[in-house]
Amino acid sequence: QIATEIVADAAAVAERVSDIILARVRAQPRLTLGLATGRTMVPIYQRLVAAYRAGTVSFRGCTTFNLDEYCGLAAHDPASFHTYMRASFFDHVDLRADHAHVPDGMAADADGESLRYERLIAAAGGIDLQVLGIGINGHIGFNEPGSPLRSRTCRVTLAPETRAANSFSFGEGRAVPSHAITMGIATILDAREIVLVATGRDKKRAVEAALNGPVSEDCPASALRRHHHACLVCDEDVLVR
């Protein structure tokens, strides 16, 4: 089951989730962290950067693995998750550049890149703490409804609703990529601890399906109920206390 913590609003969610991350990094300076992108994560990274600037944490010993990247977007592309991560976190803390991993969306051989990513995670000793957002359709990473619950890192096709939800990052007239490389659902479940984060009314249905619906490919986030150390932190727009 997924332990659930409901707090007042998005700011309280960011405070709680950043406190969990900071506590783990302080307790285990060589922590391997799984990281997510998306709007939900923005205030969380702001708090992590603020803690680093205040001198209360160091990420120097940490290794990070991002969940996903769009296919066909170079690392320097303004809409790439590489750029998002540099702008919101990597460029502002003491994490070593060679310890910060994001799948290569430009890889000509997506299967080879996926295998390389899996091996990198394994070589780092696996992920200690995976932070996850959730899509309005219940996706985690870019594992859309219908993805096998046993999937490993691979190239996937994005759902129309996901491309629409993420179109804000792309300039007018610029299409959202049709494919991405994402950690698989089984890859995510291998993490020793998972924190799922959700804010806002548009996540209510997906979160309710994940918590109370069947554990099924129809709602990839429902797979988290098979994990023994997964929690959800959300606000009152998502669930009532």
Our answer to whether residue 92 is catalytic in this structure is no
Closest CB to ligand GLP among residues 56, 178: 178
Tell me the closest approach of the beta carbon of residue 176 to ligand GLP, in angstroms.
10
Distance CA 75, CA 105 (A): 8
Closest CB to ligand GLP among residues 151, 166: 166
Our answer to whether residue 137 is catalytic in this structure is yes
Residues 6 or more apart whose CB falls under 8 angstroms from that of 48 comprise 18, 21, 22, 57, 89, 93
- Catalytic residue, chosen from 113, 128, 144, 217, is 144
Site residues (vs ligand GLP, CB under 6 A)? 36-40, 67-68, 133, 135, 141-142, 162, 166
Tell me the closest approach of the beta carbon of residue 118 to ligand GLP, in angstroms.
18
- Catalytic residue, chosen from 66, 68, 77, 190, is 68
- Tell me the H-state helices in 144-199: 160-165, 185-189
Closest CB to ligand GLP among residues 29, 72: 72
Asked whether the beta carbons of 240 and 11 are under 8 A apart, the reply is no
What is the residue type of 157?
T
Tell me the closest approach of the beta carbon of residue 162 to ligand GLP, in angstroms.
6
Asked whether the beta carbons of 107 and 98 are under 8 A apart, the reply is no
Our answer to whether residue 76 is catalytic in this structure is no
Residue 232 is inside which H or E element, if any?
A: strand 230-235
- The closest alpha carbon to 10, from 34, 60, 46, belongs to 46
Nearest residue to ligand GLP, scored by beta-carbon proximity: 133
Residue 49: strand, helix, or coil: helix
Closest CB to ligand GLP among residues 99, 203: 203
Residues 6 or more apart whose CB falls under 8 angstroms from that of 117 comprise 65, 101, 103, 153, 181, 183
- Catalytic residue, chosen from 139, 166, 190, 227, is 139
Q: Which residues on adjacent β-strands are paired with residue 9?
A: none
Tell me the closest approach of the beta carbon of residue 238 to ligand GLP, in angstroms.
12
Closest CB to ligand GLP among residues 133, 217: 133
Residue carrying the six token digits 């990070």: 64
| Tokens read off for 62 | 């940490």
Tell me the closest approach of the beta carbon of residue 29 to ligand GLP, in angstroms.
26
Asked whether the beta carbons of 134 and 221 are under 8 A apart, the reply is yes
Catalytic residue numbers, as ranges:
68, 137, 139, 144
